[in-house]
Structure 1
Amino acid sequence: MKQRDRFPIPLWILMLIGIISISFSSIFVRWSAAPVAVIAMNRLALTTLLMLPLLGKHRKEIVSIRWRDWALMFVSGIMLGLHFLFWMGSLRFTSVANSTAILTLEPIFVLVGAWLFLKQPVRPLALSGMITAMLGAAWIGLSDAGLGGDSAWLGDGLSCIGAFTVAVHIILGKSLRTRLSAFVYSFFVFLFAALVLGLYNAAGRQALFAYSWKEWGIFLLLAVIPTLFGHYLFNWLLKYLRPESVSMSVLGEPLGAALLAYMLLGEAVTWLQAAAAAVLLFGVWLFLLGSREPRTASASQEQTLKEPRQASEPA
């Protein structure tokens, strides 16, 4: 690492701040009494408002965006909106620990999509991790049988769908990010997702803005803490850390969310749930190890890898 790339604060502290920040997402959703689609809409709308003052610096890039890329960004925004809709909905039915653990299947769905549509090869270690993670997810569902019954299974299923939709969003983003900056891509995807959720809420005759100051405080906390101090911080850390190191942060969210749920919501985790989540997270860890780019990659590949990803991953 060059001297000019060094940062005065230890990077592991910043990584820890990011993990804690995204872990709060499920807690804030549980605290809110608003419909999940309204929570998601206002979280994204407030995030775009916070980003708006910096948009003028990207005027030249915006006017040069092709129509095809606008269309792909719109689809990516729809997928992000669906992710929030399904994942936040899962928290109404299953535990925070189970919902966030199942959400870590997202990178596996990304690899499956890359294998099916981009013909990207799957390494044996990644395949072993994928199978292990799927077994862990199935075990989580079985562990819910004696706890929440059908409603808990519904929550697990919604979280799984949320992981799938955000995977589609990320696959689209990986293509678009070769032509667009992280800020421009993220701003318009957030905006499109908020607009689509707004139409969904209007069609369902949900109140869009008539909420208490407490609810608006929760919406703002969601926009600032898990989004800006969470996912955007991880994007920034990609300038200083290898991408696979940052991607490992996905394993920290279920642990952080479970601990916060225990302290702030009084939500306990059974030994069976903990064992199932451990199997799932171990599988995702193996998968991430097996998906790492070799260190002998060319300089051009290294530069591509160091480009920041979009700031809109799960939670």
Structure 2
Amino acid sequence: MSKKEPYVGLVVLAFFSIYVIWGSTYLLNKVAVNELPAFMLAGMRFATAGLLIFLIAKLLGKSIAITKRQLLNTTIAGFLFLSFGNGVVVWALKYVDSGFAALEISAQPLVILLMMWLLQGKRIQPMSMIGVILGFVGIYLLVSQKAIVQKENSLLGIFLIFLAMLAWGYGSLFVARADLPKNFFVNTGYQMFMGGIMLGVMSLAFGEHWSAPWQWSTEVQLVMVLLVIFGSIVAFTSFNFLLKYVSPEKVATSTYVNPIVALVLGWYFLNEQITLQSVIAAVVLLTGVYFINAKKKFQLFSRFRR
């Protein structure tokens, strides 16, 4: 391996984490939110993951000291990605199927592209414009299904997920340029911990009923362990790692695989219905995402962006 490509293996593993592991978190959150309050669930998950990351960092002899600016930036990122971007999605899962939520979120590259155009003045290429059009068509096909929108509070769930997508999209742009801890593991730990603390405050503000882990069912206890270790520590560390090596819209292509994984798992374990219109919507949406990113190939071997 040449000196110019020292992180190839890590980049590949990181993409696998955000593609497959994150795809399974829709199922895990759906199972847990049927028993636990959404903000309490997400808050305990991320605060625990953050503390574990700090412990692991200390055991590895790594410093977790950061500057005031970095603390502020990790707090902002933690709110955008986790307190709002994830916590609101978990809340929305009370009203929509896990596979449907994943399909709606598959429009994330479209949201990021439009935000880069509006906020950064980045010109939308003709191929990407085709992707934008296909993305809007796919979203319409997805949310216009009578069997879905007629479910109680389903429209609220759809709207909440859209707001979470905006928060996640802006967070992706923010993190790509912000002064953050150089160590990706430490960076993730602070975002997790601060995001978890803010979710706990949100939970108390909404009057959610808290319960201790030993009061949960065995199934939910197992789900929480999987969410903390793999869905939080492994996948989110991979996400922050990739945001420094590839552009935000490339990282967002995890939405190619996430909805497929979520749909299959939701269908197999939760008996969630996969409609023909949902399949068509998925094909249209993911084709749109492809066109958005067709201009340039993945730059997996790019150098660290200063």
Q: Shorter chain as normaliser: what TM range? A: 0.7 to 0.9
* Counterpart residue identity of residue 41, structure 1: G
The one-letter amino acid paired with 1:62 is A
Q: Work out the CA distance in 2 between the residues paired with 1:104 and 1:267.
A: 18
CA distance in 1, matches of 2:25, 2:76: 24
User: Do 1:129 and 1:286's aligned partners in 2 also have CA atoms closer than 8 Å?
Assistant: yes
Unaligned runs of 5+ in 2: none
Distance 1:266 1:7, change over 3 A: same
Matching of residues 170-249 of structure 1 within 5 Å:
170-176=172-178, 180-211=182-213, 212-213=215-216, 214=218, 215-233=220-238, 247-249=252-254
**8 A Cα contact 1:44 1:223, kept in partner:** yes
1:43-58 equivalences under 5 Å are 43-56=45-58, 57-58=61-62
Q: 1:294 to 1:15 in 2, by over 3 A?
A: closer
What are the within-5 Å matches in structure 2 for residues 18-33 of structure 1? 19-32=19-32, 33=35
Partner in structure 1 of residue 147 of structure 2: 146
- The farther-off stretch of 208-217 and 134-143 is 208-217
The two structures have a TM-score, normalised by structure 1, of 0.80
CA distance in 2, matches of 1:119, 1:239: 21
Identity among equivalent positions (%) equals 18
Give the 3 Å change call, closer, same or farther, for CA 111–304 of structure 1 in structure 2.
Answer: farther
Closer, same or farther in 2 for the Cα pair 1:121/1:237, shift >3 Å? Answer: closer
Matched residue, 2:76: 75
Amino acid at match of 2:73: L
Task: Single out whichever of 190-199 and 231-240 deviates more from structure 2.
Answer: 231-240
Query: For residue 303 of structure 1, what is the aligned residue in structure 2?
Result: 303
Q: Which residue of 2 aligns with 1:160?
A: 162
Q: Displacement, 1:132?
A: 1.2
The one-letter code sitting in structure 2 at the alignment partner of 1:114 is M
Distance 1:2 1:241 in 2: 19
The number of aligned residues is: 295
Aligned residue identity for 2:114: V
Q: 1:110 to 1:15 in 2, by over 3 A?
A: closer
**Take 2:171 and 2:143, find their aligned partners in 1: how far apart are those partners?**
25
1:62 to 53, 61, 65: 65
Question: What residue number does 2:44 align with?
Answer: 42
